[in-house]
Amino acid sequence: MTRTALVTGSAGFIGYHLCTRLLADGWRVIGIDAMTDYYDVRLKERRQAMLLQTPGFSTHADRIEAPGVLHDMLDQARPDAVIHLAAQAGVRYSIDNPESYVEANLIGTFRLLEAIRAFPPSHSLLASTSSVFGANTDMPYAETAKADTQMSFYAATKKANEAMAHSYAHLYDLPITMFRFFTVYGPWGRPDMALFKFTKAILEDLPIDVYNHGDMRRDFTYVTDLVDGIVRLIDAVPGRPATPLDVPMGDSLSPVAPYRIVNIGNSDSVPLTDFIAAIEDATGRRATRNYMDMQPGDVPATWADASLLQSLTGYRPQTPVAVGVARFVEWYREYYGA
């Protein structure tokens, strides 16, 4: 029997890749995307146009925070799985326009939780971020590690989403997995992200801004590796433990709710200088570096412990940065004729 997934943010970078994978696996996919102008809408329109060429995909153009929209969609579709990706993204933009994060990330997620309470799917998977770890420097980050010192308002809204989802899972017995992703990159990526900006600048012989004078490390995760992890987690449905003692050691399963947090990362903290070198190798050009101080809200390093993902699904992301960057540069050159 064909299963149905509802994907919020379906025309986004990750949403597009996830929908493509689900459709290839035989799912019926219903998307929703507001097509906001946070970045070039033409990228979203192109992604959505490609998805609409595939039988089994349909989409709605609306904001998830609009009253009744998600309620009506779940009522009509009764999906087997809900994957919530729609959000106002970006650490730095949250300093300039925090209200958009309240609307999309807080109110939008509240609307989603109310909709799945009314029409519960078998499993709901909601996107969080490595940014929730904030000032925590105890790496690699495990799901059970302290995450109470967020450094940006974006991160604060995503940590709030985790708490909101836990309360709904507990109160209404809703199986929910929060997946924290780590610096996702790849073809069809967002223009506000470092790989896109660096590639564009290098190919146009323009300098790149390198923050914290290059002393940065990230757990770069290739987008299809992230998608593979999400898809495998769909059937790893958390249950409510009979007692707190039933939670396995190292598992982030809640002791009181069918709720779990799972990291999806490459389990490797790569120096920013190595990332730039991979772009230089892929483009065949050298970057002119403009070294700058750390930006407000940013963190110097991230590093995922992905052992829980592996124990739940048998899978661990593993695309090397050099390979993933080369694929992005190839896509960028083809798409922009660069």
pLDDT band per the 50, 70, 90 thresholds, residue 283: very high
Is 154 in the active site?
Answer: yes
Tell me the mean pLDDT in the region 318-322.
95
Q: pTM for the complete prediction?
A: 0.96
Tell me the mean pLDDT in the region 239-262.
92
Residue 76, helix vs strand vs coil: helix
Q: What is the DSSP string of 118-167?
A: HS--SEEEEEEEGGGGTT---SSBPTTS-----SSHHHHHHHHHHHHHHH
What the chain holds in terms of domains, given with CATH numbers, is 4-185+223-267+303-318 (3.40.50.720)
Lowest mean pLDDT among 144-158, 263-277, 287-301: 287-301
Q: What is the pLDDT of residues 97-151, one digit of tens each?
A: 999 999 999 999 999 999 999 999 999 999 999 999 999 999 999 999 999 999 9
Q: For residue 140, say if its preceding peptide bond is cis, omega within 30 degrees of 0.
A: yes
Look at strands 81-84 and 4-8 and give their pairing. parallel
- Looking at the DSSP assignment, which residues form a beta bridge with residue 217? 271, 301
Q: What is the pLDDT of residues 42-89, one digit of tens each?
A: 999 999 999 999 999 999 999 999 999 999 999 999 999 999 999 999
Tell me the mean pLDDT in the region 205-233.
96
Question: What is the reported pLDDT for 96?
Answer: 86
Query: From the candidates 154, 168, 259, 332, which is the catalytic residue?
Result: 154
Kindly tell me if the per-residue pLDDT of 284 is higher than 90. Answer: yes
> Is the distance from CB of 12 to CB of 44 less than 8 angstroms?
yes
Question: What is the reported pLDDT for 297?
Answer: 84
Question: What is the reported pLDDT for 336?
Answer: 96
